[in-house]
Amino acid sequence: MVVIAAWADGPITTKNNIKGCAKLARKACEDANISLQDIGIVIFSGVYRPNFRSEPSCASHIQNKLKIRCKDLELSSKHCFSFDIIDGSRGAHRAIQTASHFIKNSETKYALVVCADVKPTKQSKWLYENHALAMVISSHASGLKFISSNYSSGKLTAHTKSTFDTKKKVSVLNYVGDTNHSGEIEIEKEFKSDSSSLGSIQMRDFLLWSNNKKGELKHTIVDRTGAMSITHWRV
């Protein structure tokens, strides 16, 4: 069982998105009172990136920005794995589950999970404010405990449309999905996220909601595609 030892969130800019993510990650580590060099895995789960870039991974850029174990490899080196997980607004759940498995089956004590989305291009249709969330996942700290998760593809009802602006020579996001998959937000033991929000906002809202709660909790995300993700927690 792993725990969210600390987290930090806030606005970021498209131009300095990696710098903004790294700043929040550093704050979360400071709040958890751990060294950056104790982190063994960095996972990034954002979907919308500057100019729709997919490689190199955002996680590797964040790792480099924070200088986490960025040294020449030797036999005694401690590795830090960094990679991205893309699964719409369900990405945060996927990343936490992956970090949980990694910690349970390795010598790693801490994982860093960063969720962030920014307006891809100036020409893209964008209904949000750029936002990022950084979480420190630990095997032994006190806090909100992750128990399990399950996923369902559901009835896929939406997709993303994009075009290429030949004059500006950039890709343009025109359609970001169906906003009808929203639900009630506050229930005593269950939190259902609003699918009209970015994944980082949905996860942040759940973390805020879980404050002062006791017992078993459930967080449900229904992605704009109609796919569902449910995570189970204990406080």
State the DSSP H helix or E strand holding residue 156, giving kind and residue range, or none if neither: none
**pLDDT value at position 197?**
86
Greatest CA separation for the chain: 56
The model's pLDDT over 138-154, given as tens digits with 9 standing for 90+, comes to 988 788 999 999 988 76
What residues does each domain of the chain span? Answer: 2-144, 150-234
Residues 6 or more apart from 35 whose CB is under 8 A from it?
Answer: 29
The model's pLDDT over 41-57, given as tens digits with 9 standing for 90+, comes to 999 998 888 888 888 89
The model's pLDDT over 20-36, given as tens digits with 9 standing for 90+, comes to 999 999 999 999 999 99
Gap between the Cα atoms of 125 and 32, Å rounded = 37
Phi and psi at residue 62, in whole multiples of 5°?
-65, -40
**pLDDT value at position 174?**
62
pLDDT band at residue 182, thresholds of 50, 70 and 90?
very low
| Closest listed residue to residue 151, CA positions, set 92, 100, 104 | 92
The amino acid that residue 182 corresponds to is S
> How many CB atoms neighbour CB 168 within 10 A?
11
**pLDDT value at position 80?**
85
Which residue has better confidence, 180 or 60? 60
Two tokens, residue 50? 């500057």
| Closest listed residue to residue 43, CA positions, set 85, 105, 91, 8 | 85
| Closest listed residue to residue 4, CA positions, set 196, 159, 234 | 234
How high does pLDDT run on average in the chain?
86
**pLDDT value at position 161?**
66
**Is pLDDT of 74 > 80?**
no
Could you give the 3-state DSSP secondary structure of residue 16?
A: coil
The model's pLDDT over 79-125, given as tens digits with 9 standing for 90+, comes to 788 999 998 889 999 999 999 999 998 888 899 999 999 999 888 88
**Is pLDDT of 175 > 70?**
no
The domain over range 2-144 is classified in CATH as 3.40.47.10: yes
**pLDDT value at position 126?**
86
* Residue 12: CA count within 13 A, CB half-sphere: 31
Two tokens, residue 184? 């009630």
pLDDT band at residue 184, thresholds of 50, 70 and 90?
very low
Q: Report percent pLDDT > 70 for the chain.
A: 85
